Structure 1
């Protein structure tokens, strides 16, 4: 019996998230209301509030979910904690770009909507943390201030991904992964 309840909850949350994403592609975050989301998801407001406190809570959950899935798609932990061979690293990065490509609507909405800058900030913080861990474990760039190089690499990476998304992904994931890897490699981050 609990499985049915869990499935209904999952279906409801999925409908709410899909409705929210559709609305984000149509209008600014500030202009989206709980009524808009509920109507689009075909649920009542009470059902929405059973799952989320407000639209900001929904946004936070949506960001967390996508960032976690993006990180898992590319074995980010392995990438940040081990020195990978070039082919392994490129495959990990390619997986990340494929995930972004498959979820284009979400990422383009998050990056183009002015009021969802929290997404970019959280993506930067996540990548910065991983980069710091990698540099610490591998003793990368000992002669350069670590905070500076982490900020530089993270900002460059996020900016490149953002540009790729906002320009409707003109290059394939494989090409993007190879280019990013080349830049990492040149900065001693393997």
Structure 2
């Protein structure tokens, strides 16, 4: 068989398996989903499933790994300027890129971060976000030659949790704002801080 056609067939089968997992998780909760249920929903036999995955857990872990691997392109962006200057405007394209990547897999994020989803996904996502935020925080402190006012671990926990909360809020909106709008809002929260951002115009 033509390798290109074979590759397309593999991608199509894996897509059908993942779609089946997500739809069943939305209906039943991940704990209740079985390989038999997945194969029936995807309209494939069990042998086909096992040709791609060892079991349900392997499917979940591979799917999570694939989705989170796209955060590597977010990490490639740098939000600290050169020299001793910190350019917060660089946050805008970084956050826009982040929301675009999440939006690309919105259904996966929405279901796996939901009450019947996969707890490990939330933990893995938090770890990825924490690493990115830690990198940026350390870089800013280096450029400014400053010592942090807030304990770094507490700062990272606060910012990571807040950012994850914003992402979850966005995913559950009936009519989600575009990535550019969410990026602007998140940038303002970073620039102003929670107290100042809660103030009113006028």
Structure-2 separation of matches of 1:124 and 1:49: 30
Counterpart of 1:96? Answer: 98
Counterpart of 2:162? Answer: 156
Deviates more, 1:93-102 or 1:48-57: 93-102
Spell out, residue by residue over 1:23-67, the C-alpha distance to the aligned partner (whole angstroms, 9 max, x if none). 222221111111111122222111111211211111111112122
In the alignment, which of 101, 111, 114 is matched to residue 112 of structure 1? 114
CA RMSD after TM alignment: 2.3
Counterpart of 1:41? Answer: 42
Structure-1 separation of matches of 2:116 and 2:26: 12
Secondary structure at the residue paired with 2:76? Answer: helix
Structure 1: any 5+ residue segments left out of the alignment? none
Counterpart of 2:13? Answer: 12
Counterpart of 1:58? Answer: 59
Spell out, residue by residue over 1:44-92, the C-alpha distance to the aligned partner (whole angstroms, 9 max, x if none). 11111121121111111111212222553xx333146x44745542122
Counterpart of 2:141? Answer: 139
Structure-2 separation of matches of 1:171 and 1:3: 37
So what's the TM-score if we normalise by structure 2?
A: 0.79
Larger radius of gyration: 2
Q: Give how far 1:130 is off.
A: 1.1
Secondary structure at the residue paired with 2:174? Answer: coil
Counterpart of 2:75? Answer: 76
Structure number with the higher helix fraction is: 1
Count of aligned positions? 184
Spell out, residue by residue over 1:108-155, the C-alpha distance to the aligned partner (whole angstroms, 9 max, x if none). 111213341111111100000111122222217623211111111101
In the alignment, which of 159, 170, 178 is matched to residue 172 of structure 1? 178
